[in-house]
């Protein structure tokens, strides 16, 4: 597939997906839907139901899911993009397109911090954030929606700076703590200014990731009060369990678990969230690219890890990377609901998995095989080049 793809074709389109064996909703309150047919018109879901009850006439694209499983496109809540589909962190090209082959259709930047020569002065950091927002809005590798332009706060920023950023289209802050602001009081003030102008925030939790980054403990995390507790399981160095529990219990913010973090701490956080009956707060990211590389299957691996070792139903674990994130971050994708973006992953049990079906295979710790990705109602990839091969794959009947 070509790298640079348009957001969508001109003119009305109607996508019909029939013969869906299992429909995962992304909604943690009701993760499995009783439906086998899905219709999307001009990139938006317009009908979900049983074939006999849905108007499937006039499809411009018709897909036979062949009894496989459909889930909302996966959302990676924590990436560090720089420019286009290149990352200087491990000097790789095509990493975003590779993530698409791992089912990721939306990415959220936690700061374009790997930019060589990243400006630290206020004018420079604002300019870079606006540039990144514009560039990734206009360029979608493989069709993936990269929400970028996430400035890292520095001392001396004023309310006016956040107002300017918001007016210029910036909607995110990069990880608090990766810049010169590391104390709770200043962080809290700047996060509040960001929130006032509609800019979402996240924070670096735990020990330093790489030389130059620093420790952020529970006291600063709670004082800063960002919308998302970024990598609460560390990136990689996690806080002591007592501090993780203190964060979970001390706020109602998002609890982000990342692939490039401490896996035991991720499982501990999951356990605390479940005890509190607050699994809706759990969201997933990779924190890629990072020192440990890029992981095209990182979100699938987190789903499998949390389900198999964390004792969570597979259909619930998929919600951590879809509906939970969409709701927390006010995205128009991530849930199978009329009106939402038609961003889907179609997958099946991997060949030779010991599980009887896809959910059991994930529960046993296997990864599913992806057979197709769809963004804005357009087929972007077919059999994944990265996952283990799916047992059954969907077929494009028309379009």
Contact footprint for Zn ion (CB under 5 A): 175, 204, 235
Give every CB contact of residue 199 below 8 A, 6+ residues apart in sequence. 162, 165, 166, 170, 171, 172, 173
Beta bridge partners of 74: 104
Q: Closer to Zn ion at the Cβ: 18 or 89?
A: 89
Q: Closer to Zn ion at the Cβ: 235 or 388?
A: 235
Among residues 293, 366, 347, which one has the least CA distance to residue 102? 347
* Phi, psi at 384, each rounded to 5°: -60, 140
Q: Closer to Zn ion at the Cβ: 140 or 204?
A: 204
Cβ of residue 327: shortest distance to Zn ion, in angstroms? 23
| 3-state secondary structure (DSSP) of residue 174 | strand
Q: Closer to Zn ion at the Cβ: 61 or 209?
A: 209
Cβ of residue 204: shortest distance to Zn ion, in angstroms? 4
Distance CA 220, CA 379 (A): 44
Cβ of residue 183: shortest distance to Zn ion, in angstroms? 17
Distance CA 106, CA 86 (A): 17
Q: Closer to Zn ion at the Cβ: 190 or 290?
A: 290
Q: Closer to Zn ion at the Cβ: 11 or 212?
A: 212
Beta bridge partners of 347: 69, 370
Distance CA 204, CA 385 (A): 32
Do residues 193 and 159 lie in contact, with contact meaning Cβ atoms separated by under 8 Å? yes
Cβ of residue 75: shortest distance to Zn ion, in angstroms? 18
Cβ of residue 228: shortest distance to Zn ion, in angstroms? 11
**Order of all β-strands in the sheet with 200-203:** 172-176, 200-203, 228-229, 254-258, 282-285
Cβ of residue 301: shortest distance to Zn ion, in angstroms? 19
């Amino acid at each position: 597939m070509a790298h640079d793809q348009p957001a969508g074709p001109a003119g009305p389109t109607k996508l019909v997906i029939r013969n869906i064996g299992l429909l995962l909703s992304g909604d943690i309150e009701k993760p499995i839907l009783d439906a086998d047919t899905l219709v999307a018109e001009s990139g938006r879901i317009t009908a979900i139901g049983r074939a006999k009850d849905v108007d499937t006439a006039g499809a411009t694209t018709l897909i036979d899911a062949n009894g496989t499983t459909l889930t909302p496109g996966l959302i990676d809540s924590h990436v560090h993009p720089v420019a286009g589909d290149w990352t200087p962190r491990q000097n790789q090209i095509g990493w975003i397109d590779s993530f698409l082959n791992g089912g990721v259709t939306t990415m959220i930047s936690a700061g374009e911090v790997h930019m060589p020569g990243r400006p630290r002065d206020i004018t420079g950091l604002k300019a870079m954030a606006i540039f990144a927002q514009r560039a990734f809005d206009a360029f979608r590798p493989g069709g993936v929606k990269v929400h970028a332009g996430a400035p890292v706060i520095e001392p001396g920023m004023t309310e006016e700076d956040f107002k300017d950023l918001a007016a210029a289209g910036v909607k995110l802050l990069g990880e608090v703590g990766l810049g010169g602001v590391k104390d709770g009081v200043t962080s809290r003030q700047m996060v509040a200014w960001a929130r006032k102008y509609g800019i979402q925030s996240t924070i670096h939790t735990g020990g330093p990731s790489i030389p130059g980054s620093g420790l952020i403990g529970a006291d600063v995390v709670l004082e800063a009060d960002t919308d998302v507790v970024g990598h609460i399981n560390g990136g990689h160095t996690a806080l002591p369990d007592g501090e993780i529990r203190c964060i979970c219990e001390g706020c109602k913010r998002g609890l982000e678990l990342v692939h490039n973090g401490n896996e035991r701490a991720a499982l501990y956080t999951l356990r605390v969230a479940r005890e509190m009956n607050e699994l809706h707060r759990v969201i997933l990211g990779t924190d890629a690219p990072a020192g440990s590389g890029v992981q095209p299957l990182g979100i699938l691996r987190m789903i499998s890890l949390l389900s198999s070792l964390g004792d969570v139903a597979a259909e619930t674990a998929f919600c951590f990377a879809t509906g939970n994130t969409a709701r927390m971050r006010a995205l128009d994708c991530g849930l199978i609901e009329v009106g939402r973006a038609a961003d889907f992953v179609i997958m099946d049990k991997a060949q030779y998995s010991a599980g009887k079906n896809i959910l059991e295979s994930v529960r046993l710790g296997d990864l599913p095989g992806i057979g197709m990705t769809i963004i804005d109602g357009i087929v972007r990839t077919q059999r994944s080049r990265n996952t283990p091969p799916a047992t059954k794959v969907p077929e494009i009947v028309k379009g």
